[in-house]
Structure 1
Amino acid sequence: MPTYLYWGEDEFQIAQAVQELHHALLDPMWLDFNFVKIVAMADEQIIDGLNYSATPPFGSGDRLTWLASTTITQKCSDTVRSELDRTLANLPPNSHLLLTTSSKPDGRLKSTKLLQKSAIVKEFSPIPPWKTDAIVTFIKKTAQNHQLELTEAGVELLADTVGNNSRRLHMELEKLKLWQGDRQGQVDTDAIASLVNATAHNSLQLAKAILAGDLDRSLSLLAELMGNNEASLKICATLTGQFRTWLWVRLLVESGERDDRKIAEVAGVGNPKRIYFLKQEIRPVSASQLLQAMPILLQLEADLKRGREEAAMLQTAIVQLYDRLSSQAR
């Protein structure tokens, strides 16, 4: 199947996947003849790319036509859809068409339906920061790809330090690979702590600081995140997701549920072993307090989407959360 649709906001992972196609399909000696990248946002650019892809390759190797940042799965004229239909039905077997976009394809469009039937579709979206189990799994898999074996504690430390940043994870693993050299055995926390910069904070740490009632640290972490150009809506999404998880765990604990596997299933936690640590985190607060936090976070999301001043809205929400979580004796 010579057609590929890669979508998602993780530009680094998409770039890596494109590079893999590049190496697998193209002969370096014939690269100038058989590879083209077109930023395909206008109809004319999309049609030019489709016409190019319909041409058999020259010399040895296959042809790869890359329509980057394409809008064909968000809006598509009848002319472009007709051209896409014709192209997909007549692509030479050794000519490959790649489309990439950061936006989720609109499943209602005929162009999207055509690609879903004819193309290999892959999503490359960042793992939500509060899904720590998925981040740990991703780190393990990526480390294996780098031929690195990490201790369990080392994986957890990388998850805390790097979070869901796939680009930084790749860079840090490359650094650890160089350090490992001919050494035998697993890479442990001592090596990771000495080589990986742990000064960068993430939104999950901000959530934990708010839950712990440390207002000064919460505001300091927020300032650092904003200084690092972390998107306000992503900060809000992480806080909302983490507080929702804490709320579910607390509600189930207060209802008398003792089975960590059941709690994990209901709370959407992939690894039941995490429930023990979540229970420790929520011990100082009640379900009532966590319930009071949710409207604040939902209002924050609405205010940010209305375009209100981001830093002020986030600071206000943090202070409000601190007040709600401190309203009962800890």
Structure 2
Amino acid sequence: MPVYLYWGDDTYRLMQAVHQLREQVLDPDWAAFNYDRLPPESTLAGLNLAMTPPLGSNARLVWLEETTLTQDCPEEWVRELERTLASLPPTTHLLLTTRNKPDGRLKSTKLLKQVALAREFPQLAPWDEEGILRQVYSEARQRDLKLSPEAAQKLAEAVGNDSRRLAMELEKLALFTVNQRDPISPEQIEALVPASAYNSFQLAASLRQGNLDQALRILAHLLDHNEPALKILAVLVGQFRTWLWVKLLLEEGERDPKVIAQKAEIANPNRVYFLQKEVGSLKSSALLQVMQQLLQLEYQLKQGQPEREVFQEALIQIVAILQKS
């Protein structure tokens, strides 16, 4: 009784897993007759199809895409699911996917978890630099690609948490280095991988690190790609506000990640570990000055002053403040 439950907001990796499962279980000559992909409103029809024997082959794949069985499941659907799981033919592979985390309180979720192979595909947070770097190494190993540490770091910075882009760039690198024995160098990354995955979180990180050239380059990229200046500013305010709160709490002697997360309004306490490392060399007085600079920038932007000029001047001032500290 093969049942699979895939969930997570990294839709690219999730869809890749779905494709691999389809290739694995279906006979390509009979796939058109034994493969059903159904939307949420066709859940009952999909469960009924799962009871149907395959045609001309030994396997059928029924995919309930974006299922609501693990989120909002009417009693009628629960009964049908229970009946289906109890008598599902061994020739049927039943796949359920959803972006949302299954609600473990629901009877339908409990039924599925008893029999299903569950896999999670979470989207890495933009601030999880270590996680992004691990993903780069993991995906490279799957393609038998060797990256120097500097090259891996540059690739991680270029693609960010975009798993689709990471896969595309690694495929390109594999083509260009097919006969190369040495690890891929940072110079090759710079030549072959355009750094077009810049986002406002990377801008904040560049400012924190005192890298003015990179900060100005990221700002130019964002504005050139029609990212609203106030939206960029909102991310910077949020990041520096969080850094300030964490630094103040650390200076007060607080070390409990859950307490820090609660007081700093951080949704994921696991993020506190990364934040502690990020603010290690910063002073709370400097972070407070940065917040004042960002508030001044907000006033200037809302007054209609030239956004590129005032934003660039603000970044210069912020880096100067942090370097003095």
TM-score, with length taken from structure 1: 0.73
Q: Secondary structure at the match of 1:139?
A: helix
- Count of residue correspondences: 288
Q: Secondary structure at the match of 1:201?
A: coil
Amino acid at match of 1:142: E
1:239-254 residue pairs with structure 2 within 5 A? Answer: 240=238, 244=242, 248=246
Q: Secondary structure at the match of 2:95?
A: strand
Structure 1 gap segments, 5+ residues each = 258-264, 298-314
* Contact 1:249/1:267, CA 8 A, preserved across alignment: no
Pair 1:107-2:104 in alignment: yes
Which residue, out of 266, 273, 281, partners 1:268? 273
Tell me the CA shift for residue 131 of structure 1.
0.9
- Cα deviation, 1:213-268, whole Å, max 9, x if unaligned, reads 979778656545764x9xx79x84x975786468647865896x9xxxxxxx9942
Moved over 6 A (4+): 213-218, 291-294, 321-329
Partner Cα distance (1:164, 1:10) in 2? 9
* Contact 2:244/2:288, CA 8 A, preserved across alignment: no
Tell me the CA shift for residue 269 of structure 1.
3.7
1:86-235 residue pairs with structure 2 within 5 A? Answer: 86-211=83-208, 212=210, 220=220, 223=223, 227=227
Q: Kindly tell me: are residues 81 and 171 of structure 1, through their superposed partners in 2, closer, same or farther at Cα, counting changes over 3 Å? A: same
* Contact 2:148/2:185, CA 8 A, preserved across alignment: yes
Q: Kindly tell me: are residues 223 and 289 of structure 1, through their superposed partners in 2, closer, same or farther at Cα, counting changes over 3 Å? A: same
- Cα deviation, 1:44-89, whole Å, max 9, x if unaligned, reads x101001111222223342110011222222111111100111111
Partner Cα distance (2:49, 2:289) in 1? 57
Partner Cα distance (1:160, 1:3) in 2? 37
Q: Secondary structure at the match of 2:30?
A: helix
Partner of 1:15: 15
Partner of 2:38: 38
Partner Cα distance (1:186, 1:216) in 2? 31
Structure 2 gap segments, 5+ residues each = 256-269, 295-307
* Contact 2:290/2:321, CA 8 A, preserved across alignment: no
* Contact 1:4/1:99, CA 8 A, preserved across alignment: yes
Q: Kindly tell me: are residues 266 and 181 of structure 1, through their superposed partners in 2, closer, same or farther at Cα, counting changes over 3 Å? A: closer
* Contact 1:52/1:65, CA 8 A, preserved across alignment: yes
Which residue, out of 51, 57, 77, partners 1:54? 51
Q: Kindly tell me: are residues 22 and 292 of structure 1, through their superposed partners in 2, closer, same or farther at Cα, counting changes over 3 Å? A: farther
Identity of aligned residues (%): 38
Which moves more between the two structures, 106-115 or 119-128? 106-115
- Cα deviation, 1:10-61, whole Å, max 9, x if unaligned, reads 1111110001101110110111221111112x2xx10100111122222334
- Cα deviation, 1:300-320, whole Å, max 9, x if unaligned, reads xxxxxxxxxxxxxxx9xx99x
Amino acid at match of 1:75: D
- Cα deviation, 1:274-298, whole Å, max 9, x if unaligned, reads x5xx46xx64x4135547989xx9x
* Contact 2:240/2:290, CA 8 A, preserved across alignment: no
Amino acid at match of 1:101: T
Partner Cα distance (1:138, 1:266) in 2? 17
